[in-house]
Amino acid sequence: MLPLEDIRKRAMTWLGNEFNEETRKEVRDMLEKDEKKLVDAFYQDLEFGTGGLRGVMGAGTNRMNIYTMGMATQGLSNYIIKQCGTKGIRVAIAHDCRNNSRYFAERAADIFSANGFEVFLVESLRPTPLLSFAIRYHKCHSGIVITASHNPPEYNGYKAYWNDGGQVVAPHDKGIIEEVRKIKSVKEIKSGGKQENIRIIGSETDNAFLQEVLKMSLNPGIIRQYSDIGIVFTPIHGSGGTLVPPALKLFGFTNIISVPEQDIPDGNFPTVKSPNPEEPDAMKLAIRKAVDTSAELVLATDPDADRLGIACKNKKGEFVLLNGNQTGALLIYYILSQFREKNKYKGNEYIIKTIVTTDLMDRIAEKNRVECFNVLTGFKFFAELIRDLEGKKKYIGGGEESYGFLPGDYVRDKDAVASCALVAEIAAWAKSRGKTLYELLIDIYLEYGLFREKLVNIVRKGKEGADEIKAMMVSYRNNPPLAINNSKVVKIDDYETLVSTDCLTGKKTGINLLKSDVLQFFLEDGSKISVRPSGTEPKIKFYFSVNTRLESADKFEETNKLLDERIEGIIKDMKLT
C-alpha cells in the first residue's frame, strides 16, 4: 500500500480546477478530518476489470464518480477507435435506478459523442437485458450500462459490452483495460460532444425487445386458460418496473398485482435492507401483498432487472422462496420437456450453466439428450459460447445459481424480464396439470434426484479485507483438506492452475476453460464445495451442493432436512460459522 504521505499528495491533485467544487470539498474534508476514509478513497485506482467498474460512490481514485467513470469511458472510446476506426461508430447506453446513474449515463454519452460516436441513450431507467438487445438492434459496436446490480445503495458501477450484445471477453477485455490504464489524467477525457449525435431511445426499442421476449412462450393456449393467476410483481425500486409488467401482459396474464411502495424508482431502496431478490427481507412486502390478495406467485427483480426472485406456495399454503438453482432447474426442465412434447428438437440444441450452479441441470439435460456446457461464473461466458456456436448449434436456455437466467439468444446477458414471464407460464402449465409450482419442483427431484445448495458469503471490506481473502485462497491451495465432514476429498479442481487432481490416484488432468481464481472440492459422498473470491464485491463465496435420491414426495421435507444437516456439517467442519 502507498505510504500515507503519498496518498495525501495523490488526494491533493484532486483539488485542481478540473474537478468540480463538490468533489474538491469532499477531498478537503477527508484531508482535514478523516484519514481512514482518505486512505480507502485514494490508496489505489478503482480497477477497470473484465467486468468493468464497480465501487462506492464519492470523491477519490478508488471511488465511482464522473472522473473515474469518465476515464474509463475515454479508454473504451480509444479502444473502439483502434478496433473499428473513426467513422460510423455507434454505442448504446442504459442505466438503472441508482443514485447518479442518469448523471453518469449522460456524462458517458457526452464523452462518446465528443469522440465522434453516434450514441443511443435510453430515455430513462431500463433493464440491463434491454441494453444488450439495443446493441444488436441498433447495430452498435459497443455499449455500457450504469448499474451496481444488487449491491448496497452507496455503490454504482459500469459494465462494458461488445457488438454481439455480450459483456466484453478476450481479447477485447484486456485491450480495453490496457487503454483505460493509459488514461493518466482527467484532462485526457474528451467532452462537449454534439447533442445531435445523441439519440434518445424508448418505446420503439422496448417494443422490439418485448416481441422477442414473447417468442419464448411455449404454451400460449394454456395461458389463455389460466390468464387470471394472481401474480405479485415488485421491481424493488428498480428498472424491472418498466418492462416486466408489459411482458407479463403480452404473454396474456391479466391479474398482475403491484407493490406500490416498491414501484417507485429510488436508489436509496428505502423499503429494504438490500435490493437483492436473493435476500428474504427484500421479498417481505411482496409476499405480504400476495397473502392479502390470495395471489399464487411472487416475482421480483433486482435494480437492473437481470436477476429474478420467486416465492410460491408450499403444501401448507405458505409462501417459500426458491433459490437460483431451483429456479434454473424449473426453467430448464420446462423448456426441455416442452421441446420434447412439441417435437421441436432438431438434435443440435444445448444449454449452459456455470461450474458453481446445481448439477441437477446437467442431469436434466443428459436425460433429455441435450448438450450441457459448463462455463466460468459470469454471463459474459454464456454470450461468448453462444456467439462461437452460432449457426452450428441452437442455444435454448441457461442460467446460474445467482438468480440469473436467459431463455433464448435474442440478448446476450441474463434476462429477468423474459424469465419472469416464462416462470409465470410454468405456473400456469403446472396448474393445468393440477399442480403448483412447488409440487412441480418436487416432481423434478423425484425424477432426477434431490439437490440442495447453499451459498455462504464472507465479507471483508477495504485493503485489509482484500489481503485476508487472498490469504484464504492461498491456504486452501497449499493445504487442501483431506476430508470434510467425515467424507474424503476425492477430487480437487483448481481453475487457477487449470488442473484437476484425483486425490485417490494422484492423477492430474487439464481443465479446458480460462484461468479463474476458483477451487472446487468433490467429496466421496457426492458433495461439492466451490470457493471463489467475488469479482465485483469485497467478499469470498463458498458454494455448497449436496444430493441424494428422493424416494417419495411424502419424504421431501425429511430428506431435505437431512441434506441441510449435511451442508451445516460441512460449514462447521470448514470453520465458516
For the stretch 468-489, pLDDT in tens is 899 999 999 999 999 999 999 9
200 burial via Cβ count (<10 Å: 0-12, 13-18, 19+): exposed
Q: Inform me whether the pLDDT recorded for 48 exceeds 80.
A: yes
Q: H-helix or E-strand containing 446?
A: helix 437-448
Looking at residue 570, its amino acid is I
Q: Inform me whether the pLDDT recorded for 250 exceeds 90.
A: yes
Query: Closest by alpha carbon to 109, among 208, 101, 47, 415?
Result: 101
User: What is the structure's pLDDT at 534?
Assistant: 84
Are 404 and 306 contacting, i.e. CB atoms less than 8 angstroms apart?
yes
Which residue of the set 77, 113, 142, 149 is catalytic? 149
Contacts 24+ apart (CB under 8 A), 32-36: 35/4
- d(C-alpha 491, C-alpha 481), whole Å: 11
What percent of the residues of the chain are helix, what percent strand, and what percent coil, each to the nearest 5?
40, 20, 35
Average pLDDT over residues 276-302: 97
Query: Closest by alpha carbon to 221, among 342, 54, 358?
Result: 342
- d(C-alpha 137, C-alpha 127), whole Å: 15
Q: What is the pLDDT of residues 440-452, one digit of tens each?
A: 999 999 999 999 9
In the chain the domains, ranked by start, together with CATH numbers, are 1-43 (no CATH), 48-201 (3.40.120.10), 212-448 (3.40.120.10), 451-573 (3.30.310)
Percent of the chain with pLDDT over 90: 94
- d(C-alpha 479, C-alpha 459), whole Å: 22
- Output the pTM of the full model: 0.94
Which cell numbers in the block locate residue 330? Answer: 424449473
Q: How many CB atoms lie within 10 A of CB 447?
A: 12
Q: Inform me whether the pLDDT recorded for 521 exceeds 80.
A: yes
Q: What is the dihedral of CA 401, 404, 410, 412, to 10 degrees?
A: -80
Q: What is the pLDDT of residues 155-173, one digit of tens each?
A: 999 999 999 999 999 999 9
Percent of the chain with pLDDT over 70: 100
Average pLDDT over residues 226-230: 98
Average pLDDT over residues 89-102: 98
Are 188 and 71 contacting, i.e. CB atoms less than 8 angstroms apart?
yes
Torsion-angle region of residue 269: left (phi > 0), alpha (psi -120 to 50) or beta?
left
User: What is the structure's pLDDT at 457?
Assistant: 92
Whether 545 is a known active-site residue: answer: no
- d(C-alpha 295, C-alpha 254), whole Å: 12
Q: H-helix or E-strand containing 530?
A: strand 528-533
Are 547 and 452 contacting, i.e. CB atoms less than 8 angstroms apart?
yes
Local confidence band at 50 (pLDDT 50, 70, 90 cut-offs)? confident
3-state secondary structure of 153: coil
Local confidence band at 536 (pLDDT 50, 70, 90 cut-offs)? low
Residue count of the chain, please give it: 577
Q: How many CB atoms lie within 10 A of CB 202?
A: 12
Q: Inform me whether the pLDDT recorded for 15 exceeds 80.
A: yes
Are 304 and 258 contacting, i.e. CB atoms less than 8 angstroms apart?
no
Which cell numbers in the block locate residue 210? Answer: 418485448
φ, ψ at 289 (rounded to 5°): -65, -40
Mean pLDDT of the chain: 96
- d(C-alpha 61, C-alpha 221), whole Å: 55
- d(C-alpha 65, C-alpha 71), whole Å: 10
Local confidence band at 13 (pLDDT 50, 70, 90 cut-offs)? very high
Torsion-angle region of residue 478: left (phi > 0), alpha (psi -120 to 50) or beta?
alpha
Strands in 349-354's sheet, in edge-to-edge order, are 371-375, 349-354, 394-400, 404-406
Query: Closest by alpha carbon to 308, among 361, 236, 372, 365?
Result: 236
DSSP strands (E only) in 315-403? 319-322, 349-354, 371-375, 394-400
User: What is the structure's pLDDT at 49?
Assistant: 85
Task: Measure Cα distances from 231 to 87, 246, 255, 421 in Å.
Answer: 48, 13, 6, 10
